Structure 1
Amino acid sequence: MFKHLKNDLPASLVVFFVALPLCLGIALASGAPLFSGLIAGIVGGMVVGALSGSNLGVSGPAAGLAVIVLNAITDLGSWEIFLVAVVLGGVLQILLGVIKAGVIGYYFPSSVIKGMLAGIGIIIFLKQLPHAVGYDSDYEGDISFRQADGENTLTALANMIDNVSPGAITVTLISLCILLLWELVLTKKSDIFKIIPGPLVAVIVGVIYNFLIAADSAFGISADHLVSVPVPESASDFVSQFAFPDFSAITRYDVWITGITLCIVASLETLLSVEATDKLDPQKRTTPTNRELFAQGTGNIVSGLIGGLPITQVIIRSSANVQSGGKTKMSTIIHGFLLLTSVIIIPTLLNKIPLAVLAAVLLVVGYKLAKPSLFKRMYSLGRDQFIPFIVTVLGVAFTDLLLGIGLGLGIGILMILIKNYQNSHFLHIVEKDDGVHTVRMTLSEEVSFLNKGAILRELNSLPEKTHLELDVTKCIRLNYDILEILDEFLYRAGPKEITITVISEKGIFENPKSFTKLFLTSKVA
């Protein structure tokens, strides 16, 4: 875990600066105490990060749960009773992990997952533009089109024109220059710039700017445009910010309904984020989903017991971790530790950070998630991939996360039904011992994304030094999602000394370098 500390430490700093305002903003949107968002961020980093099998996923309070939390606090009658539901939701998540319900995450097509990432990238970019110019009426946390203050993404963009702050624009431009200069130029010239993260430099410059320029001047930064962390005046004041569940309400029907709702929604968001984060992982590692449900459940129990919001794995923070060069889960754990120490030791200094700096960091993250090249590549893969992708993008950007994913998944399933997908026998395994442990895998006529969970399970179970014979002679159509997991398997096969022979109507191919390149030119693609 400490092997890649030179990568994980800078990444953890970026995730910390991204997570800090998001934790506060989601708590505000949820109608919960601000400190509850920080508790959830700390627990998501230190507890869930330590227990999770995800190398790059970052957990914390999620915007997708904000409306549920807001309504539940009102309906249940108190914050302490709501915390009981959070604990119950965590217990139920652990049970889902025990019964191996994590396999659900494998039944979402690659096009939908990529559409979710691109849609989130677009909405991050659009929602940060107002904050980049100093319009901070409803800052961090919103992923849905409609915001907690009654505005939506488009009206916020329109209203920002009349609420421009010259100081915020100046800080945003300076921060963007630092970030782009750091990434495109300086990191290529010297290793020292790889150790010191550009976002940290941008934050330091932003704080210095805030100290040097008076708040009441034309280019000053007002208090409304700064991070706002609760500042305890004493140790007892700090301890008093924690809250504890009222377990006398554990027998109430509505408390259990809220706990079940939190469990289902949080688990689904987590599994989708796990799938998306694994797609972003340069090393193509696979997260054990049942272990992730156990980690998330444990995190929610701990968070609920000490007064925190419910937790999920969060794609914004996870993608920031990936884009910042994180390698292992140490970056997640360290970011949680940084949240804890900062709110104890330097809350006053944190409150000097201009929100425009954090907006600049998120603008870069949003652009990387929704690069134009991604849209071009998805279009080139054909309508089977592009239509579910673009529907998901539009759904996430103009409704909310879960509804957008549901629309994309519905379109994906509909397109399969239109093509009369009727094949349940897609995988046949035959093992033989001819001096070399050989496994023959025969794929049948139609293989779709619905089959990738079973195929991935079989591939991951192959022992070292196995010879795999992959017979695709019967395939009429091999879905792109399957090609993708086969290519990811090639990446992992080398270290395990697994050799591969592909048998097709085009011939026999030994140890292909890319299944995608091999099959896109044949009828099975």
Structure 2
Amino acid sequence: MKSLLGSNLRYDLKASLVVFLVALPLCLGIAIASGAPPMSGLIAGIVGGVIVGAFSKSHVSVSGPAAGLTVIVLDSISSLGTFELFLGALVAAGLIQLILGFAKAGVLGYYFPHSVIKGMLTAIGLILILKQIPHALGYDKDFIGDFAFQQMDKHNSFTEIYYAFQYYSPGAIPIVLIALAILIFFERPQVKNHKLLGAIPGALWAVLSGILLNSLYAKVQPDWLLKDEHLVSIPSLTSLSQLPSLLTFPDFGLIADSAFWIVAVTLAVIGSIETLLSIEAGDKMDPYKRITPSSKELVAQGIGNTISGLIGGLPVTAVIVRTSANIASGARTKLSAIFHGILLMVLVLSIPGFLNQIPLSCLAAVLFMVGYKLAKPSIFIHEFEKGWNQFLPFFFTVIAILLTDLLVGIGIGMVVGLFFVMKTNFQRSVTVTELNGNYLVKLQKDVSFLNKAPLMKELTQIPEGSYVILNASKAVFIDHDIQEVLNDFIASAHSKNITITIEGYTYHLREVQ
């Protein structure tokens, strides 16, 4: 432990501070968009960091309230009637996740194609950039964690940018530009690795610059002053005796109602899928290429959701934006996720007034940098160089997520990816080659009924008097329909004066004889 703390602590502390700055507005915004108390988002962030972080076996993943669940949470609160009843369903969802984890259901996470996961990461990067443009311009009509294409105000990701340019706040622009300049400066290797300059992350300096510049506006340019919706907004306590008032406790009054269990199962399943996607993506970004045991992660998430529901928090999942920020900031162990949860708890309770001075425009700069690292132009080039079978599932996943939301986009990407997997296997399963009137019909590994039509076409085109080698020695599985096609070809070969040599296909040879 001493070695672990000594070698990694400074990296994890720096990363946790960046993740805290990213998580703070997201936790608040997701809660508001979900129709829940703002404090419920912060509670979920704290539970996701401290509780899930402690139980998780992931080294780099960060958990908290997920933007992808906002519509589900909003609808669930409405259908059940109260937030307290929703919390009861969330406790049940956490217990269901525990069961899924112990049943080893996390293995399903290993079946997401690489191209789809890469497309998801790139799409989220592009969404972060698109969604932060309005906040960078001081047009803060939507919460900072709104990642869906269609927004609740009936705008979409692109029309929101149009309105932002029409109704921008002048004071936000210098703040975001200065913050971006600071972040870019601190990304330089000689600065990042400097003993003094590299000790504190650039994100903190960027946020402090935003607070100072906005304070300066109050004295020299009052018309540019950012306030109200343009700033972080955390519920404040006047004394610690008010702390229990921030907690909400679950109501299990509808536990015998089917609607209660529909919500619980929905939260458990969708939350588990989002977690498995994020865990898989996080492992791919981890510079040390460590693998997270996915079923144990579901157990950790189940514990987190049970506790979050018991004290008034939103559903918790592993979330890719905070995970990306964590990895990009140099996190080495799960201590960074735990520290970010502790920072949320301590700073939100101790200095809410100071945190409420942070302009959303300087936080947008931090998210711009996270988005760019996920969606660099070089990523598109790299995926394109892998060939169409990899690039098209990647590309369609990116477009689908951009124009819908995370889960729908992943579903579309999976369908496209599955098509190309089938197409590749389809092409490799049966090959017919010709050389000087001699034909080789070769069956590889698994040959399904999908190969029936092209196989029939190839066999009917073999001319009379040909010599054919039918090789099935490497075929592990041959579908019955394929057997029928081959059987018919063998049986009719003598009528076309076709000579056949059969290798590894003795069943059909005996049938012909």
What range describes the TM-score normalised by the shorter chain of this pair? 0.7 to 0.9
What residue is the counterpart of 1:454 in the other structure? none
- Residue 234 (structure 2) pairs with residue 229 (structure 1): yes
What residue is the counterpart of 2:143 in the other structure? 139
What residue is the counterpart of 1:91 in the other structure? 95
TM-fit CA distance, 1:194 = 2.2
1:408 is aligned, of 398, 407, 413, to 413
What residue is the counterpart of 1:437 in the other structure? none
Q: Which amino acid is the alignment partner of residue 261 of structure 1?
A: T
Q: Is the 8 A contact 1:135 1:160 kept in 2?
A: yes
> Following the alignment from structure 2 to structure 1, what is the Cα–Cα distance between the partners of residues 424 and 397?
20
State the SS of the aligned residue for 2:204. Answer: helix
2:292 is aligned, of 287, 291, 308, to 287
**Deviates further, 136-145 or 342-351:** 136-145
- Residue 318 (structure 2) pairs with residue 313 (structure 1): yes
TM-fit CA distance, 1:250 = 1.6
What residue is the counterpart of 2:48 in the other structure? 44
Deviations 1:394-446 (A, max 9, x none): 0111111011111111011112223444999xxxxxxxxxxxxxxxxxxx958
> Following the alignment from structure 2 to structure 1, what is the Cα–Cα distance between the partners of residues 62 and 153?
27
What residue is the counterpart of 1:383 in the other structure? 388
What residue is the counterpart of 1:269 in the other structure? 274
- Residue 83 (structure 2) pairs with residue 76 (structure 1): no
- The alignment's C-alpha RMSD in Å is 2.1
State the SS of the aligned residue for 1:60. Answer: strand
What residue is the counterpart of 1:483 in the other structure? none
State the SS of the aligned residue for 1:124. Answer: helix
- Residue 39 (structure 2) pairs with residue 17 (structure 1): no
> Following the alignment from structure 1 to structure 2, what is the Cα–Cα distance between the partners of residues 274 and 105?
8
1:325 is aligned, of 327, 330, 338, to 330
Gap change, CA 1:244 and 1:380, over 3 Å in 2 = same
Deviations 1:424-477 (A, max 9, x none): 9xxxxxxxxxxxxxxxxxxx958xxxxxxxxxxxxxxxxxxxxxxxxxxx89xx
1:251 is aligned, of 248, 252, 256, to 256
Q: Is the 8 A contact 2:49 2:341 kept in 1?
A: yes
Aligned length: 432
> Following the alignment from structure 1 to structure 2, what is the Cα–Cα distance between the partners of residues 77 and 137?
27
> Following the alignment from structure 1 to structure 2, what is the Cα–Cα distance between the partners of residues 38 and 294?
22
Structure 2: tracts of 5 or more residues without a match = 430-443, 447-473, 476-513
> Following the alignment from structure 2 to structure 1, what is the Cα–Cα distance between the partners of residues 174 and 200?
23
State the SS of the aligned residue for 1:248. Answer: coil
TM-fit CA distance, 1:232 = 1.9
State the SS of the aligned residue for 1:166. Answer: coil
Identity percentage over the alignment? Answer: 53
- Residue 69 (structure 2) pairs with residue 65 (structure 1): yes
Deviations 1:148-200 (A, max 9, x none): 22221011011001111121101000000000011126525622222210001
> Following the alignment from structure 1 to structure 2, what is the Cα–Cα distance between the partners of residues 95 and 150?
39
State the SS of the aligned residue for 2:64. Answer: strand
Q: Which amino acid is the alignment partner of residue 254 of structure 1?
A: A
2:104 is aligned, of 100, 106, 111, to 100
Higher CA-based Rg: 2
Q: Which amino acid is the alignment partner of residue 367 of structure 1?
A: Y
Deviations 1:320-361 (A, max 9, x none): 001111110000000000000011100111001111111000
Q: Is the 8 A contact 1:44 1:311 kept in 2?
A: yes
Deviations 1:184-231 (A, max 9, x none): 265256222222100011111112222222187233222321110111
TM-fit CA distance, 1:54 = 0.6
> Following the alignment from structure 1 to structure 2, what is the Cα–Cα distance between the partners of residues 186 and 70?
47
What residue is the counterpart of 1:515 in the other structure? none
Tell me the TM-score normalized by structure 2: 0.81
Q: Is the 8 A contact 2:130 2:157 kept in 1?
A: yes
What residue is the counterpart of 2:464 in the other structure? none
> Following the alignment from structure 2 to structure 1, what is the Cα–Cα distance between the partners of residues 215 and 190?
27
Q: Which amino acid is the alignment partner of residue 306 of structure 1?
A: I
What residue is the counterpart of 1:119 in the other structure? 123
Runs (4+) of structure 1 moved beyond 6 Å? none
Q: Is the 8 A contact 2:135 2:144 kept in 1?
A: no
> Following the alignment from structure 1 to structure 2, what is the Cα–Cα distance between the partners of residues 144 and 164?
22
What residue is the counterpart of 1:241 in the other structure? 246
> Following the alignment from structure 2 to structure 1, what is the Cα–Cα distance between the partners of residues 155 and 236?
29
> Following the alignment from structure 1 to structure 2, what is the Cα–Cα distance between the partners of residues 308 and 7?
29
Structure 1: tracts of 5 or more residues without a match = 425-443, 447-473, 476-525
Q: Which amino acid is the alignment partner of residue 410 of structure 2?
A: I
Gap change, CA 1:188 and 1:75, over 3 Å in 2 = closer
